Structure 1
Amino acid sequence: MTDLNETAKQRLTKAVVNLLTTQRLSGEVLLEMPRTRNQDLDAPIGLAWQHNQLVLEYNDRQLNELTADQLGVRLQHEVLHAIWQHPLRYVSSTHPRRVALATDIAVNQYLKTPPQGTMTLADLEKLLQRPLAAHRDSRYYLRILTHLTPAEQGRIEKVWGKLDDNDQSEPQRSEKKAGKAQKAAASHQGWQTDQSVDNPDLQKARLKALLSKAWKSLSQKNRGRLPGEIQEELERLSNPEPLNWRQLLVRLLGRIPSGKQDTRARFNRRQPLRMELPGQIDRLNADIYAFVDNSGSMSDQEIAGVLTELQYLTVQLNSQVEIIPFDAKVHSEQATRLQPGKNVSYQRTGGGGTCFQAVFDWLQKQHVSRQQATVVILTDGWGESELAVHGYRNVLWLLSTESELSVKSPVMRSVKIGGI
């Protein structure tokens, strides 16, 4: 009788070779990814962290039950998880079942035939009885799964089982009785790591190196066959890191004249014969209006951390910063000003739907200078698709998630500050 593990290894090798000819990107990624046997894995294959490196785990018994086509699809499914860095971004998630469903929905949209037992966008739309946006980041679907009505959650749990992992009302169920949401989370169990011994920076660097190498090995013809979203993601990973939000803010402030400052390098225009009197030049700093999305996904502590960095930067640049919360409207009555040397704390109130238009309407109503004010918007990016910005161009969007900004043509540029 042939050894199950040896058979599984041979099938994996054959499947990777096949993908090199049919789905080159997936084949290149898997060719460089270490493989390890895990008989406790509740799935044929999955991704896991070992010694700060992403590896492909397999359960030889379950893997050998798959047809060649099913194995190929599952391998592509796992590669897509790696491309979107799901094992890195959700390494310490407190809601693994919802994360498993959301990430599967995101990656399955790039597969003709998704793996059996994984949720698809069509599945979720049918259960919610409403259409959803396609080809969005997993954070989009996770937010939907996190803000369900009781009726919606009931319909999903009837088909997929419990979405919450803290339900202690039932004894531990057997694998056969486990809900599909529980099984989906179990198949992603390798994403969870011991944060006390792992190195997130090293994990990120190694995953980026793996994906960059696979991307660079592709010909232009093979690259052109990939969906646009995947091309953009791999181009981003392969290119040097863009300017971070601190650099962008300094650049914004450096372009805006705000008042005058004395200088010995210029004559005093009013009294040019008085050599002891300094002249004046434009002082390059500006007031900053920092709007914080009350309905966003960042914790109060994370928001305070960003505001502390903002305080440090603006002290160096001699700027005044007004912190103003908003959701469906601007709460100017709760506005506070950052004070140099004073600890920054933040506590959200309210938390209705997000309306970016309210920010720009408020700025216009308050007659805030379009030339001298810098607008910083701290949000998870979930809002309208179109805005009337009323001429305000000095705008920096700070996104707390990996989701893209919902505004189709955002003023200035958006920068990720939270997560990976």
Structure 2
Amino acid sequence: MTDLNEAAKQRLTKAVVHLLTTQRLSGEVLLEMPRTKNQDLDAPVGLAWQDNQLVLEYNDQQLSELSTDQLNVRLQHEVLHAIWQHPLRYVSSTHPRKVALATDIAVNQYLKTPPQGTMTLADLEKLLQRPLAAHRDSRYYLRVLTHLTPAEKGRIEKAWGKLEDDDENEHQRNEKKAGKAQKAAASHQGWQTDQSVDNPDLQKARLKSLLTKAWESLSQKNRGLLPGEIQAELERLAHPEPLNWRQLLIRLLGKIPSGKQDTRARFNRRQPLRMELPGQIDRLNADIYAFVDNSGSMSDQEVANVLTQLQYLAAQLNLQVEIVPFDAKVHDEGVTRLSPGKSVSYRRTGGGGTCFQAIFDWLQQNHIDRQQATIVILTDGWGESELNVHGYRNVLWLLSTESELSVKSPQMRSVKIGGN
């Protein structure tokens, strides 16, 4: 009798060979991706980080229960997660269930028959009772899931289970029937890593190398059969164009509205007689936190010019921006919010040494959301060489000099301001 694990290995090999003839890109990606058994994985297959490399994990028992067609779809689904770099972008997610649903919605739009148990755009639209934009980045759908009305959240949780852990301990969760949102998050559990051990730059480089090799192995005919969005993403990875800081920031942000938040201090305008229904106000949390180095080499006018451009971009994207001064520490008393339509001026105070660690400590202490906030750091680049970023990865360093950033492994990108 064939060993269950050996049978699983053979099935995966046959599936990859089949995809090489039917879905060439998926086959090429999987051909280069290591495979490893994981009996703790609550899904037939999934992606995970091992030694800073993305691998395909499988549970041989659950895999044996899939038909050939179901396995092929599952594998294509995982490849799409890799193409959009979801395991890298959401490696430190604080909302794993929402992330799992949002990323599944994004990739399932490129599959004729999505895997069973994964959310689709049609599923979400039906539950929200309103249309959503198609073929958008996962951050768009994550924001939708983050800014739900109580009624919308209720409908989703009735169908998919809790969207948050609600501080349940492990025993309590095991005692309850897992909802589909929890199972979806479990299938993505390999995306989470120990940041004290892993190297984000190495992970990014290896994933890019994997995808670029698969893309370059395709013939022009095979490339032409792919959806335009996938072609554009892989072409960008293979031949990246130099970007200025405004383009990089837009890429980080995405064209996503800020949304509203519920409040009991305001009547619900649509149903003012329903006292139990909350009203809505503009969300108070900023989308962009711009940290300005008071000890930097830029003049106040140069800083104001950059902030003016930032204000313009934020107004176009309907986002909130908070300006946070820092040097050896973050100056809470100097925090201000950019106001659309008003001229921007800036005057530095203080001016001691530069401490980048103070930025990330301040973000953590103020409970700034790691997924929703984008961090912009305007500095001359002279500071520490090592940082504990506390999981904040949506970071753009704007350098005011030709010097390189002192941080050895900065999160996201650093770019010179001059000439852009």
Which bracket does the TM-score occupy, shorter chain normalised? Answer: 0.5 to 0.7
2:140 matched residue in structure 1: 140
Task: Report if aligned partners of 1:96, 1:165 keep a CA contact under 8 Å in 2.
Answer: no
Displacement of 1:13 in angstroms is 0.1
Task: Report if aligned partners of 2:101, 2:184 keep a CA contact under 8 Å in 1.
Answer: yes
Does structure 1 residue 303 correspond to structure 2 residue 297? no
Which residue identity is paired with 2:293?
Answer: T
The change in CA–CA distance for 1:158 and 1:241 in structure 2 (over 3 A counts) is: same
| Alpha-carbon distance between aligned partners in 2 of 1:105 and 1:198, rounded to the nearest angstrom | 28
Displacement of 1:308 in angstroms is 3.3
Displacement of 1:62 in angstroms is 0.3
The farther-off stretch of 319-328 and 74-83 is: 319-328
Displacement of 1:314 in angstroms is 3.5
Displacement of 1:72 in angstroms is 0.2
Does structure 1 residue 189 correspond to structure 2 residue 189? yes
- Superposed CA deviations along residues 80-129 of structure 1, whole A, max 9, x for unmatched, are 00000000000000000000000000000000000000000000000000
1:315 matched residue in structure 2: 299
The change in CA–CA distance for 1:308 and 1:166 in structure 2 (over 3 A counts) is: farther
- Superposed CA deviations along residues 287-331 of structure 1, whole A, max 9, x for unmatched, are xxxxxx9879998797243x339x8463399664485779889xx
- Partner SS for 1:55: strand
1:157 matched residue in structure 2: 157
| Alpha-carbon distance between aligned partners in 1 of 2:248 and 2:186, rounded to the nearest angstrom | 41
The change in CA–CA distance for 1:134 and 1:39 in structure 2 (over 3 A counts) is: same
- Superposed CA deviations along residues 36-91 of structure 1, whole A, max 9, x for unmatched, are 00011000000000000000000000001100000000000000000000000000
Task: Report if aligned partners of 2:44, 2:62 keep a CA contact under 8 Å in 1.
Answer: yes
The change in CA–CA distance for 1:5 and 1:321 in structure 2 (over 3 A counts) is: same
Task: Report if aligned partners of 2:212, 2:237 keep a CA contact under 8 Å in 1.
Answer: yes
- Superposed CA deviations along residues 267-305 of structure 1, whole A, max 9, x for unmatched, are xxxxxxxxxxxxxxxxxxxxxxxxxx9879998797243
* Mapping for residues 172-251 of structure 1, pairs under 5 Å: 172-174=172-174, 177-240=177-240, 242-245=242-245
Which residue identity is paired with 2:80?
Answer: L
1:77 matched residue in structure 2: 77
| Alpha-carbon distance between aligned partners in 2 of 1:92 and 1:381, rounded to the nearest angstrom | 13
2:115 matched residue in structure 1: 115
Which residue identity is paired with 1:102?
Answer: A
* Mapping for residues 121-136 of structure 1, pairs under 5 Å: 121-136=121-136
The change in CA–CA distance for 1:313 and 1:76 in structure 2 (over 3 A counts) is: farther
| Alpha-carbon distance between aligned partners in 2 of 1:9 and 1:230, rounded to the nearest angstrom | 28
- Partner SS for 1:113: coil
1:19 matched residue in structure 2: 19
Task: Report if aligned partners of 2:286, 2:322 keep a CA contact under 8 Å in 1.
Answer: no
Task: Report if aligned partners of 1:52, 1:203 keep a CA contact under 8 Å in 2.
Answer: yes
Task: Report if aligned partners of 1:162, 1:179 keep a CA contact under 8 Å in 2.
Answer: yes
| Alpha-carbon distance between aligned partners in 1 of 2:98 and 2:205, rounded to the nearest angstrom | 27
1:64 matched residue in structure 2: 64
Structure 1 unpaired stretches of 5+: 250-292, 351-357, 369-379, 383-399, 403-416
| Alpha-carbon distance between aligned partners in 1 of 2:9 and 2:241, rounded to the nearest angstrom | 37
The change in CA–CA distance for 1:246 and 1:182 in structure 2 (over 3 A counts) is: closer
Which residue identity is paired with 2:179?
Answer: G
* Mapping for residues 41-52 of structure 1, pairs under 5 Å: 41-52=41-52
- Partner SS for 1:303: strand
Task: Report if aligned partners of 2:46, 2:56 keep a CA contact under 8 Å in 1.
Answer: yes
Task: Report if aligned partners of 2:45, 2:56 keep a CA contact under 8 Å in 1.
Answer: yes
| Alpha-carbon distance between aligned partners in 2 of 1:247 and 1:121, rounded to the nearest angstrom | 28
Which residue identity is paired with 1:188?
Answer: H
- Alpha carbon RMSD of aligned pairs, Å? 4.1
Does structure 1 residue 99 correspond to structure 2 residue 99? yes
1:36 matched residue in structure 2: 36
- Partner SS for 2:235: helix
Which residue identity is paired with 1:224?
Answer: G
| Alpha-carbon distance between aligned partners in 2 of 1:143 and 1:67, rounded to the nearest angstrom | 34
Which residue identity is paired with 2:22?
Answer: T
| Alpha-carbon distance between aligned partners in 1 of 2:287 and 2:138, rounded to the nearest angstrom | 24
- Partner SS for 2:212: helix
The change in CA–CA distance for 1:197 and 1:297 in structure 2 (over 3 A counts) is: farther
| Alpha-carbon distance between aligned partners in 1 of 2:19 and 2:322, rounded to the nearest angstrom | 56
Which residue identity is paired with 2:114?
Answer: P
Structure 2 unpaired stretches of 5+: 250-256, 260-281, 346-371, 375-392, 396-409, 414-420
Task: Report if aligned partners of 1:304, 1:344 keep a CA contact under 8 Å in 2.
Answer: no
Q: Among the aligned pairs, what percent are the same residue? A: 71
The change in CA–CA distance for 1:248 and 1:73 in structure 2 (over 3 A counts) is: closer
- Partner SS for 2:47: strand
Q: Which has the larger radius of gyration?
A: 1
* Mapping for residues 349-364 of structure 1, pairs under 5 Å: 359=340, 362=341
Runs of 4+ in 1 over 3 A off after TM superposition: 173-176, 246-249, 293-302, 311-329, 334-350, 417-420
Count of aligned pairs between the two proteins: 318
